[in-house]
Amino acid sequence: MSTAAVIDWRSLDLADGGRSLIEASAGTGKTWTIAVLYLRLLLERQLSPRQIVVTTFTDAAAQELRERLRGKLQWAVLRASENLAETDDAGSDEGSDGQWLRARWQHDAELRVRDLQRLRLALAEMDVAPVSTLHSLCRRILADHPFACGVAFVMGDMVPGEALLDEVAADLWRRLQQADAGDPLVMLAAQAGDELSLARLSRRLKVCLAPGVSVKMASAAEVDAVLDPAWAARLRAAVADGTHFRKGSLLPGFWSELADFLDDRARMPGAKACAGLKEATALTGVLKGSKDNGELIALAVFAERCAEIIESLRAGFWHELAALARAEMRSRLAARHQLTFDSLIQSVGDALAREAERAGDRPLADALFKAWPVALVDEFQDTDGQQYGILDAIYRERDGSTRGRLVMIGDPKQAIYRFRGGDIHSYQRAASAVDATGRLTLDTNHRSSAALVRAFNQFYAVGGTALDAAGESRIAYESVNWTERRAGQPYTIDGEPCPAPLVIHYRSDPPSSQPARRAEALEVCANQIAAMLQSGTHRIGGEPVQPSDLAVLLPTGNDIISLRDALRERGVPCVTSSRSSVFDTEVARELQVVLYAIAHPAELGALRAAVATRLWGASFSELQRWGDDVAQWQPVADTFRSWSQQRAERGILHVVGQLIDRLAARYLQTMAGERVLTDLRHLGELLQAQSEQLTGIEELLAWLKQCREDGAASDNDAADAAQLRIESDSARVRLMTLHASKGLEFPIVFLPLMWNHGERPGDGMSVVNDPRSGQRLAEFSAAARAREAQDLQDERFRVLYVALTRAIHACHLFALPPQRPASASSKTPASGTRRSALDVMLERIDPALGSPELRDATPDIRWIDGWHPLARHDFSGAAAPAVERHARALPPPRSGPLEAKHSFTTLTQGEHRDAVNPGAAAGDEDAAGNVELADADAVVAVEQPSPMTATEAHPGLLALAGVRGTDFGNAVHAVFEHREVGAPMSAQRELIAQCLRDAGVRRKDIEQSALVDLLVSRIQDALDAPLGIAASPALCLADLAAADLRAEMGFHFAMDRVSMPRLRAACAAHGEAELVPASQRVLSGLMNGKIDLIFHHHGLYHVLDYKGNYLGDTLADYAGEALRAQMDASHYRFQALLYTVAVDRYLRQRLGADYRREEQLGECVYLFIRAAGLAPDAGIWRHRFSSDLLDAVGEVLASGPTTTEAA
């Protein structure tokens, strides 16, 4: 193993056959480094963007990363376009990326030209480059390799996994409550001895079913070795001898229950007895003179060993329950054709694991590696073992050696998502396998000011660099360098640069209770913010500090709400950003009351409750005056009755809009007004979406009630839908949780509650890492609880690091004495893993707190004694303007045709046909086939068959005559799409069978195996049939290599009021009067579709479409003018034109000025697989559209309407 240190991104090993690790401390330019490594891979290894996987943690981060990569390529294109040989030498401000390009091109002008061409091609591919989250990448793998992954060929809808798990948990809970005592699950539950509730069952199942987690159980041999029935008599003898125990001692009862359990394992000790047995060696309740009794000590030790085994037996119930829940979730997802985010990872991981267990080749892993020889994995510290297992399988040979290049980018100091499945142990295992030539540490902070970076270095120097209490986690703070990047926009106070930007507010005499300490910290923080904003003396770059320059990071959502209220009282505008659900707000409760009154406008009680809400705003005196007087209530009843009618006619969102209109003028004048109106609009949209799936207002009210009681699902899309929205883009102090702040930066940060970021109580089930297997295990043992508590405390150290390093110019950290009493009722401080990370660091500070030596050692840190100011401060800068505020008016309705998605199907079969899924492979064959079958004689009569074609029924056509329809067409398309190129179809029988199953093709009159045999022969004949293209008449599909085929290429282009009559006239002017269907429609929106196949041969790109249509039983039906008539009857020639236009546009976009249509755009071929290969030219239609026709069509599609068309 090499020991050479990598000091620069330019020398990092990116060659095949290894792993690279980039550890990037906060603010050290991680994304910039990814971009320049991407540039190296494109130029040095000559890879295309399609071959480089880049993954990160969130969709938003992936989109930002894609744009950063694109920007780096655009910058490189500009650099390559310069004539570097004629420019002066690099200036001192040229970055290392510019220096690298200069050195690369300085003495090789031809290389610069080649690189420029490569960069331009790379830019054209960026939209299809695999830059995404790992979940999205797995979804792509499942879509591209369904057969290898064992999933359906058509991907299902994404649903929130947590909502599905809650549904399954409720069913299992119902079974436990209603099944008889003989039910195996009920017996296991009794053995577990847990006091179960639905909430606990659901919560623990979520732990057991988390990615990579398995429930640890003792083996039968381990259980039998401990639970020796011979001990039962000794336990009973000790209990019978009453001379050892105090009166009222509980230990004899616990030992009696244990003895009964040893005799009959169905008699599990109760929860109280189990808890007592765990502490048996304390001999609580034993007389002082008997505590040295050898027999009692032996029994106590035995009892504690039994308690561990009993915990393991309890785990058996959860192991079985988790297996049942997992199987039920998979069954329901398959039946509903749905997917969850966890199932994406699970399906790919399982497929790769199955391959690894088998001897021989690994087709899926090999195919993925061939497609993506390099992967750059951002935020690698947040991956779990299952996700890393997928990457490891792809980039490792069967013999265990590495292949390709897996580049892992992350920072173990920022691994703070354990609750989401992030596993720091997986990161450390992966990092340990990287040698020195593959390691790069980024050690210069470009985010924060120089003084603040120095302050962070000093803080960890005196408080200890280990990011854990014991120094055993192998994760430590490392001093970083700084730049003068922020020197041009300095943070000043009273005109002077801030001398000590890390301010530690240390209160040595805190209030006695935790709630009082927390309340005071938030009040003082609110006062500090108001005073800072009001003073005008705090400036950044010469401008006064604004509310938007400040952020407060807090441990919980409740802390955010408390500080939000305190800031609003002081006139400070603020915005909350957390994972809180809109259903948890007071607005949701009041809207439920109002909606109930809308549903029941004749009920006086419902109306009285509705108008008493803040959403209506009736005062108490008004309610008293109205009393039960029906006449007084009549105007209110009329309004609610009108809203009830409008809901039925125009939807619930319209009614919520009416309510917003009524509220806006009043609420926009208040500090909290935008929050209320934002939440109300948000709830209206969610209700409207749900109302489209329900049958009436009562069901909608029940759904809203359920959402308010249960909260929104916290799983990805569902959580995003219900998550509170930011109410305004105006200048506001940002309040967010510590975890939500990761990846963000703020000019000035306040951390008022890090001292309160301590241990949270668990429920007995712990998830720990097994150092031997690397697995995450759910356990009940005391040792597991201790290990989990240590892991959680270690993570709190990392959270503190993340919180501090969000700041750019200054950070205010509140602190208390580490040895303070834990609570008002305790005289001792918190100890062990219950302590916050800040308390541990303050306790190990050296020199001591308050000493002159400490201040000398930390010149960039300001230590303030006490929390000030305690007196309330207000901010007047955000006072309401004199002019009343009003909600923005809605934009005027758009004139012209309604924008929509269009496809070949919608253009030929009416505007109401679905264009959302143009990729439904045989979606156009069903209607075409039905038309043909309904009027077969008329179609054949259009043209007489060619004399060269046989007119008698052909056996090959008769064999498949009874198998028709869209499902059959979809199956055939799937076979062509997923076949192994170059392998005979006789070797791909299982693929054909799977495609038939997935498409639902079943025939009672023919065995499925016989149908597979028929298709093997038929598809092979079609592959071997000469296509008859002009450049190579003998060419057949079987002759083409995989690199020359592009299956299922999607396309879309905008249409702005495109006139179908104009399109038809343009075609008629070029001799194709009947090519475009007759229609008077004017189209706006997006034209989209999928082309079955584009193949490349001898420099020409050809379009090919497969058709499974039944046209008749004779070869004459599939040849000559009869086939041409069928093409026209189904408008397939128009489809061919659309596909040709799409490919023409694509080639022009990719090749630019180098594109030559006559030399590079080939023919369009339609392959009717029922007849192709049965006779020369049978089932094959081909045509090359003239260049003039394509220009004319392109002009119509690109232009807007004329005056007559608009009319």
Annotated binding site for Mg(2+): 973, 1092, 1105
Q: Which residues pair with 1106 in a beta bridge?
A: 1167
1056 three-state secondary structure: strand
> Whole-angstrom Cα distance, residue 361 to residue 248?
69
How many CA within 13 A on the CB side of residue 275? 6
Q: What is the DSSP string of 632-673?
A: HHHHHHHHHHHHHHHHHHH-HHHHHHHHHHHHHHHHTTSTTH
Contacts of 1043 (CB under 8 A, 6+ apart): none
Q: Is residue 142 a contact partner of residue 346, using CB atoms and an 8 Å limit?
A: no
Distance separating alpha carbons of residues 666 and 654, to the nearest angstrom? 20
DSSP 677-735: HHHHHHHHHHHHHHHTTSSSHHHHHHHHHHHHHH----STHHHHHHBPPP--SSS-EEE
Separation in Å, CA 826 to CA 520, 829, 840, 843: 20, 8, 19, 19
Q: For the sheet containing 776-779, what is the strand order?
A: 213-215, 776-779, 766-769
First to last CA, the chain: 77
Per-residue tokens: 1144 = 């023409």
Q: In whole angstroms, what is the distance from residue 143 CA to residue 140 CA?
A: 5
Q: Nearest 5°: CA angle at 144, between 905 and 995?
A: 70
- On the question of a cis peptide bond just before residue 847, with omega within 30 degrees of 0, the verdict is yes
**430 DSSP 8-state letter:** H
Q: Comparing C-alpha atoms, which of 955, 974, 978 is closest to residue 966?
A: 974
The CB density around residue 1089, as the number of other CB atoms within 10 Å, is: 21
Q: How far apart are CA 845 and CA 824, in angstroms?
A: 26
Binding residue positions: 24-31, 973, 1092, 1105
Q: Among this protein's residues, is 1105 annotated catalytic?
A: yes
Owner of token pair 């990392």:
798
Separation of alpha carbons 790 and 418, rounded Å = 13
d(CA 44, CA 46) in angstroms, rounded, equals 6
> How many Å apart are CA 33 and CA 22, to the nearest integer?
9
Q: Tell me the longest C-alpha to C-alpha distance in the chain.
A: 117
Bond before 490 cis per omega within 30 degrees: no
Choosing from 382, 1105, 1117, 1144, the catalytic residue is 1105
Q: How far is CA 52 from the centre of its chain?
A: 20
Entry field: residues in the chain? 1207
Name the DSSP class of 379.
T
The total of other beta-carbon atoms located within 10 Å of residue 944's CB is 12
Calpha distance 330→772 (Å, rounded)? 30
Query: Which residues belong to the annotated binding site for ATP?
Result: 24-31
Cα distances (angstroms) measured from residue 804 to each of 166, 744, 745, 807, 1033: 37, 12, 10, 6, 70
Tokens of 120: 């331009």
- ∠ CA 274-279-282, nearest 5°, is 150
Question: Which candidate, 741, 865, 860, places its Cα nearest to that of 815?
Answer: 865
* Residues with active-site annotation: 1105
